Amino acid sequence: MITLSGLRKVYPARGGEVVALDGIDLHVERGRIHGIVGESGAGKSTLIRCLTALERPTSGSVVIDGADLAALGERALRAQRRRIGMVFQHVNLLEARTAAENVAYPLRVAKVPRARQAERVRELLELVGLTHRADAYPAQLSGGQKQRVGIARALAADPAVLLCDEPTSALDADTTRQILGLIRDVRDRLGLTVLIITHEMSVVREVCDSVTLLEHGRIAEHGAVADVVADPRSRLARALVPLPPAGPEAGTVDVELSFGAGHGTASVLATVAGLGADVDVSAGTIETLAGDRVGRLRLTVPAARRAEVLGTLHGAGLHAEVA
Ligand SMILES: Nc1ncnc2c1ncn2[C@@H]1O[C@H](COP(=O)(O)OP(=O)(O)OP(=O)(O)O)[C@@H](O)[C@H]1O
């Protein structure tokens, strides 16, 4: 479980200061996968550094797995860091060591007895599907396999939390899907809490239960993925479930309709069909995100029926507004 309260980080800068994080409140439940998205400079790296205690917050608190990082002494902090596994974009494996030796490395540092090390490395390589490559050197592994070694290494000390910093940015689409599948799988098996920093909406769509949009060090949007998509004002929704661009035809208005968990697709479509033959669906996207069916539709509505159509859609509990 991760809880950030009033997290603020200010860096001194020439001629003033840079507020990198400006009062972040965030709670990620145990066993959830949470995505943090935001443009370059939004504060994502600073957030990761505060979560790993590489950076001390200017104010506010970071609580990971029940421990307030600011309240820990050096020794306790080192122990707590082991409760946090890190997965990076560039895996940084020891080139002269095999996959198995790379996974064993944090266990050696933690002075785990040799026999237990070997057993644990076997378990971890099996978990990430790399038993057959245990003796391969990094140069002999594909990008996806290297990332699997990176994930196994991050899990070696049995962490409660996995922080992933752009874990798939260096990978192609197929390998990305496999690595995200693996992250979901280890979350399911080990009950980990996972935070993924990413600039890829596909990562959020594929694997996240909830998402935060950071902007200038603040939370601009936040929520369960299905709820964010169902919010017609959400910019994240437009990025997550995009509709093709269009302009309204003369005498009509475009009404955008979004729905999330709790609305069956068939009942939404039945409501739309009930609006009458002069209301057309000009674009639509329906997907399953975080296990919920979510969707957005663009309707072409005669301008004269605008208020009545919006009234009917709202009456059916749907989010709808003129685009
Ligand atoms: N050590 C530092 N000293 C001064 N300013 C910093 C420092 N680290 C980050 N900043 C500033 O804090 C703000 C947030 O930076 P941060 O690196 O956290 O953003 P980011 O979202 O990770 O960006 P990117 O995706 O490009 O890595 C930026 O304005 C950056 O210039």
pLDDT per residue as tens digits for the range 182-192: 999 999 999 99
Residues in CB range of 61: below 8 A, 6 or more apart: 3, 4, 5, 6, 7, 68, 69, 70
Predicted pLDDT of residue 162: 95
84 lines ligand 1 (CB under 6 A): no
The best mutation among 14, 18, 36, 48 to test binding of ligand 1, ranked by most ligand atoms within 8 Å of the C-beta, falls on 18
CA of 49, closest atom in ligand 1: 18
Predicted pLDDT of residue 54: 86
Whole-structure pTM value: 0.83
Sheet holding 16-28, edge to edge: 16-28, 2-13, 59-64, 67-68
Q: What is the pLDDT of residues 200-216, one digit of tens each?
A: 888 998 899 999 999 99
CA of 214, closest atom in ligand 1: 21
Q: How far is it, in rounded angstroms, from Cα 316 to Cα 109? A: 59
46 lines ligand 1 (CB under 6 A): yes
CA of 43, closest atom in ligand 1: 18
Place of tokens 């995200």: 180
Of 176, 223, 183, residue with least CA distance to 199:
176
SS3 135: coil
Predicted pLDDT of residue 188: 94
The best mutation among 46, 55, 88, 213 to test binding of ligand 1, ranked by most ligand atoms within 8 Å of the C-beta, falls on 46
Predicted pLDDT of residue 219: 96
Residue 24, beta-bridge partner list: 7
36 lines ligand 1 (CB under 6 A): no
Average pLDDT of the residues in 110-133 = 93
The best mutation among 7, 45, 56 to test binding of ligand 1, ranked by most ligand atoms within 8 Å of the C-beta, falls on 45
Ligand 1 mean position, distance from CA 195 (Å): 19
Q: Answer yes or no: is pLDDT of 293 > 90.
A: no
Predicted pLDDT of residue 306: 92
Q: How far is it, in rounded angstroms, from Cα 268 to Cα 287? A: 14
Ligand 1 mean position, distance from CA 9 (Å): 10
DSSP state at residue 98:
-
When mean pLDDT is compared across 30-34, 99-103, 165-169, 247-251, the lowest value belongs to 247-251
Mean of the per-residue pLDDT values for the chain?
91
Average pLDDT of the residues in 159-178 = 92
When mean pLDDT is compared across 53-67, 141-155, 226-240, the lowest value belongs to 226-240
Ligand 1 mean position, distance from CA 59 (Å): 17
41 lines ligand 1 (CB under 6 A): yes
> Which tokens is 303 given?
């301008």
Q: Answer yes or no: is pLDDT of 237 > 90.
A: no
Q: Please, are residues 221 and 234 in contact by the beta-carbon 8 Å criterion?
A: yes
Q: Please, are residues 139 and 165 in contact by the beta-carbon 8 Å criterion?
A: no
CA of 217, closest atom in ligand 1: 14
Average pLDDT of the residues in 286-313 = 89
Maximum separation of any 2 CA atoms in the chain, in Å: 77
Predicted pLDDT of residue 197: 95
Quote the percentage of the chain above a pLDDT of 90: 62
* Strand residues in the chain grouped as ranges (E): 2-13, 16-28, 33-38, 59-64, 67-68, 84-88, 161-165, 193-197, 210-215, 218-224, 252-259, 280-289, 292-302, 319-322
198 lines ligand 1 (CB under 6 A): no
Atom 2 of ligand 1: nearest residue by CA position: 11
Average pLDDT of the residues in 219-235 = 88
Q: How far is it, in rounded angstroms, from Cα 306 to Cα 300? A: 10
Ligand 1 mean position, distance from CA 8 (Å): 13
Ligand 1 mean position, distance from CA 92 (Å): 22
Predicted pLDDT of residue 75: 87
Predicted confidence band at 194 (pLDDT cuts at 50, 70, 90)? very high
CA of 9, closest atom in ligand 1: 12
Q: Residue 39: enclosing H or E segment and its boundaries?
A: none
* Strand residues in 89-183 grouped as ranges (E): 161-165
Predicted pLDDT of residue 170: 85
DSSP state at residue 249:
P
300 lines ligand 1 (CB under 6 A): no
> Which tokens is 34 given?
């949470």
CA of 46, closest atom in ligand 1: 18
Q: Answer yes or no: is pLDDT of 232 > 80.
A: no
Tell which phi-psi region holds residue 91, choosing left (phi > 0), alpha (psi between -120 and 50) or beta: alpha
Q: Please, are residues 225 and 240 in contact by the beta-carbon 8 Å criterion?
A: yes
